[in-house]
Amino acid sequence: MAPMANATPTDQVRKFAAEQFGDEPIWLRNRRNRLLEVYLAAPLPVRQRTSLKSRKLDRIPIGSAPTAADLPDDLQNLYQVANLITVNGHTKHLSVPTTWSDQGVILLPMTQAVNTAPQLIEEYLGTVVNDEADKFQALNSALWQDGIFLYVPARVTLDHPITVTHFGSSDVSNVLPRSLVVLDEEARATIIEQYLSEPGREKSLWAIATEIVLKDGAHLQYGAMQQLAVTAESFVRRGAQIGRDAHIYWSLGEFGSSLSIAEHTSLLSAPGGQSDSTTVFFGSETQHQDYVSVAKHVAPHTTSRMVARGVMKDDSRSVFTGVTEIKKGALGTDGRQKEKILMLSDTARADVIPSLLIEENDVFAAHAASAGPVDAASIFYLMSRGLSEAEAIRMVVHGFLATVIDAIPVDVLRHNVWNAVERKIAE
């Protein structure tokens, strides 16, 4: 297949990369250059249920120098005890509790970590997600900008959640955050990544990648909130490699962006590993959302739980593909999925594909999926108690999402998700 046309001439993209990353270590520059060629040569990704052709992604300029911008006032409350704020892919603010450094915790913007902790970056970068998986992943891996780098030494528990906020201004054409999280043995941490942007006059392209490595017995609570503006088109790829008796909790909220394509994978590669994944999505207007959640059981006695709740409004369209994969030799594994969709509109569309791919017999795998309307009897009951129809629908949506949102273990994230839901209902 022919490579996708680009708005920016190939040589100009190469020149941009050479200038932008000239100060980086040679191994990293080589890596970027190799993946840049992969990006340039790659065709537009083909997704079975999402047509990318009509979206004119090739009209978005690549590799233009980002403009300086300030964080809007209403986002000032994002400053937390431990956090990183990036604007247009560049670090604007970083705060780390001093006690953490004493414990050997490394919390840095990625571009800085490349110089401060080069061995760790070289050891783990690109080992969890496949950087050649498709064109936009290759774009991220070639031109990635600041995300968070976190290393937590063995048996250290971080006493505050880390919040990472990625903000895009109205004139930015692409934002490419890259994060790497390594939790050593029995370490504990909580991270929340948020993605926000101002609506622009032109479209912007977000290609986001986060890699997570959990050593034996480590626990990570990872939350992500995507609330990009309608002019954003986003591609997200996340992966976690889960060690012996390690445990990841994914809590993902997907609300913004006109096109949102996101995949996250738990690779259960050692016995006793666990993955709990919750995805909440809410589509409105003409949003198109295409999510893939994967639990890949390679080692015996691993456990996965995958939950998704989606609310579909207006003319929105969503695809949720759950994949529970149990490989040969993964004896005694237990993989379960549950997907539920609430349809608020006749012109919305939701596809659910909860698949189980099983190569072993001493296992338990199950899925349950359902889709349905707002229960008319509930609405009638609520209205008979004096609520307006809109208010009644709002309460039903709340009830539908409450069991999963209230189970989100991090206060900040839980509140943010509820606020996002409120905004979507009111839209």
Partner 1 sequence: MATDRQSLVNEEYQYGFNDGDIGVLKFNRGLNRGTVEEISRIKKEPKWMLDFRLHALDVFFKKPMPRWGGNLDTLNFDDIIYYVKPSENQGRTWDEVPQAIKDTFDRLGIPEAERKFLAGVSAQYESEVVYHSIRKDLQEQGIIFTDTDSALREYPEILREYFGTIIPPEDNKFAALNSAVWSGGSFVYIPKGVHCDVPLQAYFRINSQNMGQFERTLIIAEEGSFGHYVEGCTAPIYSSESLHSAVVEIIVKDEARMRYTTVQNWAPNVYNLVTKRAVAYKNATMEWVDGNIGSKLTMKYPSVYLLGEGARGMVLSIAVAGKAQHQDTGAKMIHAARNTTSTIVSKSISQHGGKTTYRGLVHFAQGADNSKSNVKCDTLIMDELSTSDTIPYSEVADSNVEMEHEATVTKVSEEQLFYLTSRGLSEEEATRLIVMGFIEPFTRELPMEFAVEMNRLIKFEMEGAIG
For binding to partner 1 (CB under 8 A), which residues are involved?
312, 328, 341, 343-374
259-268 and 288-297: which strand pairing? Answer: parallel
Nearer to partner 1, 37 or 285 (CB): 285
Biggest distance spanned by C-alpha atoms of the chain: 70
Nearer to partner 1, 112 or 347 (CB): 347
Residue 52 CB, shortest distance to partner 1, in Å, is: 19
Q: Which two tokens stand for residue 222?
A: 């990872």
Nearer to partner 1, 27 or 364 (CB): 364
Whose CA is closest to 197, among 274, 257, 132? 257
Cα atoms in the 13 Å half-sphere on the side-chain side of 237: 21
Residue 312 CB, shortest distance to partner 1, in Å, is: 8
Q: What SS3 string covers the chain?
A: CCCCCCCCCHHHHHHHHHHHCCCCCHHHHHHHHHHHHHHHHCCCCCECCECCHHHCHHHCCCCCCCCCCCCCHHHHHHCCCEEEEEECCEEEEEECCHHHHHCCCEEEEHHHHHHHCHHHHHHHCCCCCCCCCCHHHHHHHHHCECCEEEEECCCCECCCCEEEEEEECCCCCEECEEEEEEECCCCEEEEEEEEEECCCCCCEEEEEEEEEEECCCCEEEEEEEEECCCCEEEEEEEEEEECCCCEEEEEEEECCCCEEEEEEEEEECCCCCEEEEEEEEEECCCCEEEEEEEEEECCCCCEEEEEEEEEECCCCEEEEEEEEEECCCCCCCEEEEEEEEEECCCCCEEEEEEEEEECCCCCEEEEEEEEEECCHHHHHHHHHCCCCHHHHHHHHHHHHHHHHHCCCCCHHHHHHHHHHHHHHHHC
Phi-psi region of 367 (alpha: psi -120 to 50; beta: other; left: phi over 0): beta
Other CB atoms within 10 A of residue 136 CB: 28
Nearer to partner 1, 147 or 335 (CB): 335
Nearer to partner 1, 43 or 372 (CB): 372
Nearer to partner 1, 245 or 339 (CB): 339
Residue 306 CB, shortest distance to partner 1, in Å, is: 13
Nearer to partner 1, 58 or 360 (CB): 360
Residue 427 CB, shortest distance to partner 1, in Å, is: 17
Nearer to partner 1, 92 or 398 (CB): 398
Nearer to partner 1, 55 or 367 (CB): 367
Residue 374 CB, shortest distance to partner 1, in Å, is: 8
Question: Are residues 312 and 344 in contact, defined by beta-carbon separation less than 8 angstroms?
Answer: yes
Residue 316 CB, shortest distance to partner 1, in Å, is: 11
Residue 373 CB, shortest distance to partner 1, in Å, is: 5
Residue 46 CB, shortest distance to partner 1, in Å, is: 13
Residue 367 CB, shortest distance to partner 1, in Å, is: 5
d(C-alpha 179, C-alpha 262), whole Å? 15
Nearer to partner 1, 37 or 359 (CB): 359
Nearer to partner 1, 139 or 342 (CB): 342
